[in-house]
Amino acid sequence: MNMDQIKGDWKQLQGKVKAQWGKLTDDDMTTVEGKRDELAGRIQERYGLAKEQAEKELDDFCKTL
What CATH number should be reported for the domain holding residue 54? 1.10.1470.10
Half-sphere exposure of 38 (CA within 13 A, CB side): 13
CA-CA-CA-CA torsion for 39, 42, 46, 51, nearest 10 degrees? 90
Strand ranges (DSSP E) for 1-65?
none
Q: Exposed (0-12), middle (13-18) or buried (19+): which is 54, by Cβ within 10 Å? A: buried
Total domain count, the chain: 1
pTM score of the predicted model: 0.84
Q: How high is the pLDDT of residue 12?
A: 84
Could you list the residue range(s) of the whole structural domain that residue 19 is in? 3-64
- In tens, the pLDDT along 5-20 reads 777 788 888 889 999 9
